[in-house]
Structure 1
Amino acid sequence: MQQIDLFKNYLNNHYNFRFNEISSKVEFKPISESNFKSMTDRDLNSLLIEMNHHNCKIKSLDLETIIESDFVPIFNPIKNYFESLPQLTGNENIKKLLKTIDTHDNEFFEWAFTKWLVAWVACMVEDNAINQQCVILAGNQGIGKSTWVEKLIPNELMPYYFAGNIRLGNKDTLGFLSEKCLINLDELANMTYSNVAELKELVTKSKISFRKAYGKFTDNFIRRASFIGSVNGTEFLYDLTGNRRFLSFEVSRFENYGNHNVDMNLVLAEVYSLFKSGFQYWFDANDQKRVEKNNENFRVISPEEVKILELFSCTPLEDNIIESIKEEHLNNIGRNRFESANRISLRKEQVEEEINNLKYPKFKLPFELYQLITKRTPTQGELVKLGKILTKIGFKRKRSSSGTLYEVYYLKPDLSNLD
């Protein structure tokens, strides 16, 4: 028998080993014990001394080589957890969980969060599945948001849960995408526009490649983590071009301040069954429209957008509104008793003509519109942002030799130049 086989026999006779492919760590236990633990450098050195004490004259490098080889079987604790769950059908326990929270739209929440739950499980157990939506729970401080999220994790999966801040673009964050099953973002309220853009990139990231600390090679890792977060207040979405990656819910109440007693093992057993049955956990084009419509409730409205909506419309005013504006302005003419009848008549004609023109569109460059709403010259970045705002609201546009023209209808008559 070769010496290497003697070493392996000793290890097999005294210990159980397994390679945790989630944490990328070797775990071991004495055969007489029940619980595995991650192997540390100290454990490895103790094992080296023990083997040499029992006449297994092994060198440190040889022991490391054995431990880091296929001598140690691969173990996936997350898949093992789901395969050990009871086989349940239906959604009785899922419904119990959904009833522990009241949102601004419970029907939307039950639909969207159920899809997210199945996507969460799919991302954990299916190597090629990606959960591309991040849940955001918005509500007052102290109502139980963080507690409720943490209660989603059964004890068996708690080692693969992370709550706190993540440093976007950091190697540790990339590691979390593979080593964690759920990332709870506590500080969404402090994220800037650029941070949100980076978060959207992380949520949709499918390929993870980096070299771990002390690793010899750059490795490819499987994406397993899903994202959830909480925020105080209801205005936190910045992107004018779309926020379909976020499932946003305004929460008014959690049962028992989030400390619900729903058995998450039974919930996840039902969710796992839905996944295996082919449940559509992804959001198709129609689903995304529904998500975008809901997210309008949570979008940050910029001062420029507020001013645009005060001054302009993308559709013509109705006749009765124009008549009301006309009546208001015409009634104010002639109150000066020193003004001649001819002067009053002329002014009324001018005002009436100007108000009638509200029926017709004006075509304006973004530069002109920006100056109208802010009274200053815009930067190029501000012009780009204004263009996104106008497109988001629904203003029509057309190309011209001068640039892009936007079709706008004034909401108020400009009477400043009238005699």
Structure 2
Amino acid sequence: MYMPRFQRKECFKRVLQDRKKSITFVPEIRIPIQLINKKTSNQNNKKIINIKTLNKKMMSTTNNPTQLFLQEGYAFRRNVLSGKIEYCELHNEVTNNVAANNDGAGNVALVFRPFTQEDLNSVIMAAQEAMPTKARLHQELKTIIYSRSTPEYDPVREWLQGLPAWDGKNHVGALLDRLPGLRSEQRYWMSVWLRSMVAHWLQADQLHGNEVVPTFIGDQGCGKSTFCRLLLPEPLREYFLDHVNLGNKNDKEMALTNNLLVNIDELDQVRRSKQAELKQLLSKSRVNGRPIYGRVQADRSRYASFVATTNNHHPLHDPTGSRRFLCIELPSGQRINNEMPIDYEQLYAQILAEYNAGERYWFTEEETRALQRANAPFQSTIDLERIVQNCFRLPADDEPCKPVPMTSIVEIVARQYPFVEPTHSTKVQLGLALSACGFRMERDNRLHYYYAIPRDAA
């Protein structure tokens, strides 16, 4: 039946008024969309809203009935880590549970969850019931929800901002005490890395990524992967990724932008052809490209830091990239203590206090060289063969060649690769690599000589 425009307008007003009368809202919890991003609890996906304070601000400035409908019934936010819209149904999550969630001070916990296609359909159905005569309601709802009026929500920043003051105790030391056999310099490097992880969560350095990767080397089942996962508190653990596909561009980029901590499980299994891609991934500070299903190129921040685990005691395949790894070898037969609870609030309160006090969260050049030297025993023998081939060549059949003692070979290698130290272990491994590359060896008074011509020789 045809209805004149002025009659449709009056009818719609009456429907909206009847709708407002029929809904049993608690007045204090009519929360406008733009006011949701306030005080945060430390519980996962929860917001603490003071309903008495917000009651004074509940009247919206908009006259758009669709916006009014959304503001009265729902709260939306855009998660900057996942890139997804999250929402809460106010009349379900608050009104029906106000007694259970109210802490007595007028604060109500709102539980947010990802906004799916099914949720959008439910919102559309509810809106159609409230405004049956409104045209293009479906598109208008999507336009409002997926617009810039939906506030951004940074879960890690808000969790950190909700931490108590540091109590002055060494909670970082207590965390590292769980790792058996940890040396003093490794404890220091780990404390720098933890500060770097938090600093990059806060986007303190957008020119450099957190390149250093703590790499836990030990027996299968000693608790390496569990320890890595436990580095994140429960409210942030959904942003832990235990695998990354180095062969897929979108997977690599999402690992950087959508996660806080990424574990490269079984580091030694990363193929040699993917080593360059891994180095590039670790050094990236931002991602600039078209997101999956996106239509335009976007510039996105990196949040992720990396850890790695392996059972192989020689997992490093690229001597030039060893500065990026902080190898921690766990004594054979010993396990990481993952049983005792971690006081996450005080642990991260300490890290945050150190960062705010200006303590360094990056490695100096000297510390980087020390990392390389410490990583020398973890280089694979195959890579030592590459080092040997870069430093020496085989003599031609009729070319005169003076045999080079092992001590001189180590000195020549160390000039090009400063992390190589003249230890007995290094000499043994270099000897194996020289033999594998075809260099002839002879002994004289227990000294080893090799027929090799240095490539940098005049």
Partner of 1:340 in structure 2? none
Distance 1:246 1:370, change over 3 A: farther
Runs of 4+ that moved beyond 4 A: 1-4, 303-309, 369-372, 387-390, 408-415
Q: 2 CA distance for matches of 1:286 and 1:150?
A: 30
Aligned match of 2:437:
none
Write the letter of the residue equivalent to 2:194: L
**Residue aligning to 2:107:** none
Whole-angstrom CA distance in 2 between matches of 1:285 and 1:73: 41
Change (3 A) 1:90 1:197: farther
CA separation of 1:131/1:409 partners in 2, compared to 1, >3 Å: closer, same or farther?
A: farther
Shift in alpha-carbon separation, 1:296–1:174, aligned structure 2, 3 A? same
Amino acid at match of 1:5: N
User: Structure 1 10/263 Cα, relative in aligned 2: closer, same or farther at 3 Å?
Assistant: same
Structure 1 partner of 2:199? 122
State the percentage of identical aligned residues: 26
How many angstroms apart in 2 are the aligned matches of 1:255 and 1:187? 17
Residue 11 in structure 1 maps to residue 70 in structure 2: yes
Point out which structure has higher relative CO (alpha carbons under 8 A, 6+ apart): 1
* Counterpart code for 2:220: Q
Match of 2:123 in 1: 47
Q: Distance in 2 between matches of 1:69 and 1:135?
A: 40
TM value normalised by structure 1:
0.72
Which consecutive residues of structure 1, in runs of 5 or more, have no partner in the other structure?
310-363, 373-386, 396-407
CA offsets per residue over residues 252-290 of structure 1, 9 Å max, x none? 23444x333222232111111111111111011111111
Q: Distance in 2 between matches of 1:52 and 1:296?
A: 68
CA distance in 2, matches of 1:112, 1:139: 19
TM value normalised by structure 2:
0.66
One-letter identity of the residue aligned with 1:40:
T
Change (3 A) 1:412 1:295: closer
2:238 aligned with 1:159: yes
Please give the alpha-carbon distance, in whole angstroms, between the structure 2 residues aligned to 1:155 and 1:371: 69
Whether 1:31 and 2:90 are equivalent positions in the alignment is: yes
1:133 aligns to 2:212 (yes or no)? yes
Change (3 A) 1:215 1:93: same
Counterpart-to-counterpart distance in 1, 2:196 and 2:213: 11
1:18 CA displacement: 0.9
Per-residue CA deviation, residues 310-365 of structure 1 (Å, 9 max, x unaligned), is xxxxxxxxxxxxxxxxxxxxxxxxxxxxxxxxxxxxxxxxxxxxxxxxxxxxxx96
Change (3 A) 1:281 1:91: farther
> Which residue pairs with 2:3 in the alignment?
none
Pick closer, same or farther for the CA change 1:145–1:39 going to 2, 3 Å. Answer: same
Residue by residue, what CA displacement relative to the aligned partner does 1:20-57 show, whole Å, maximum 9, x if unpaired?
11111111111241211111111111111110110162
2:288 aligned with 1:229? no
Larger Rg: 1
Q: Tell me by how many angstroms 1:169 deviates.
A: 4.4
User: 2:398 and 2:421 mapped to 1: Cα distance?
Assistant: 20
Cα-to-partner distance string for 1:280-301 (whole Å, 9 max, x where unaligned): 1101111111111110121112
Distance 1:80 1:268 in 2: 13
| RMSD, matched Cα | 3.3
Counterpart of 1:23 in 2: which secondary structure?
coil
> Matched residue of 1:368: which SS?
coil
Q: Match of 1:120, SS?
A: helix
What residue is the counterpart of 1:68 in the other structure?
146
Q: Give, in whole Å, the separation in 2 of the partners of 1:11 and 1:75.
A: 18
| 1:369 CA drift (Å) | 8.3
Counterpart amino acid of residue 66 in structure 2: F
2:258 to 164, 176, 179: 179
Q: 1:279 to 1:366 in 2, by over 3 A?
A: same
Instruction: Give CA deviations for 1:118-166 in whole Å, capped at 9, x if unaligned.
Output: 1111111125342111111001111111111111111110111111242
Question: Number of paired residues?
Answer: 333
2:393 to 341, 357, 366: 366
- Equivalent pair of 1:240/1:389 in contact (CA under 8 Å): no
Do 2:224 and 2:336's aligned partners in 1 also have CA atoms closer than 8 Å?
no
Q: Hey, what's the Cα distance between the residues in 1 that align with 2:304 and 2:145?
A: 27
